[in-house]
């Protein structure tokens, strides 16, 4: 399975990758994107099976990326990993077609809770 991780923070991308491994999802290809625009381009070039995206990013936010993907007809599974964990943001994410929203700070248990059944 190929997982695209979009976050403008390099250190947070590393932490997400590390947490995926700690949660037991350690046998997957990882592709990194540094903002929503980069993620959108890499969906085209890399054909990921799952996107884990931050919300607040320069150039294009995570929700804008998700909306652009759905507008293009892409149904690629999309989940947020973001510090925006309020009920309002969760509702916005779900309405835009996100499968889940993992709020930072997270643990490997949080990852398992949301990703079991999503990651084969």
Partner 1 sequence: MTSTDTGQRRRGTDVRPVITDLMDEDTILAVAGDAWISLVGEDEVLVPIPGDLPGDVLSSWVDVVGPWTGSVVLTTGRATAEALSRALLRETAPEVLEVEDVEDAFGEIANVVGGSIKAALPGPSGLSLPQVGHAPLVRNPADVCRVEVLWRGEPLTISVQGALPPLPVPSS
Per CB under 8 A, residues contacting partner 1 are: 8-12, 14-15, 18, 56-58, 82-86, 88, 103-107
**Angstrom distance (rounded) from CA 104 to CA 108:** 12
CB of 115 to partner 1, least distance (A): 16
- Closer to partner 1 by Cβ: residue 9 or 72: 9
- Closer to partner 1 by Cβ: residue 76 or 103: 103
**Angstrom distance (rounded) from CA 37 to CA 34:** 8
- Closer to partner 1 by Cβ: residue 18 or 47: 18
CB of 120 to partner 1, least distance (A): 26
- Burial grade of 31 (CB within 10 A; 0-12, 13-18, 19 or more): middle
The residues pairing with 102 across neighbouring beta strands, listed in sequence order, are 81
- Closer to partner 1 by Cβ: residue 12 or 118: 12
CB of 11 to partner 1, least distance (A): 4
CB of 62 to partner 1, least distance (A): 13
**Angstrom distance (rounded) from CA 110 to CA 53:** 15
**Angstrom distance (rounded) from CA 116 to CA 99:** 12
């Amino acid at each position: 399975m190929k997982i695209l991780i979009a976050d403008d923070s390099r250190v947070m991308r590393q932490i997400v990758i590390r947490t995926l491994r700690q949660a037991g999802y350690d046998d997957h290809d990882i592709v990194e994107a540094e903002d929503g625009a980069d993620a959108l381009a890499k969906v085209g070039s890399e054909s990921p099976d799952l996107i884990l995206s931050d919300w607040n990013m320069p150039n294009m936010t995570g929700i804008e990326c998700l909306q652009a993907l759905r507008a293009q007809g892409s149904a690629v599974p999309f989940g947020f990993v973001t510090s925006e964990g309020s009920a309002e943001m969760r509702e916005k994410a779900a309405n835009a077609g996100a499968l889940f929203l993992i709020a930072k700070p997270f643990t490997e248990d949080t990852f398992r809770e949301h990703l079991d059944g999503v990651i084969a």
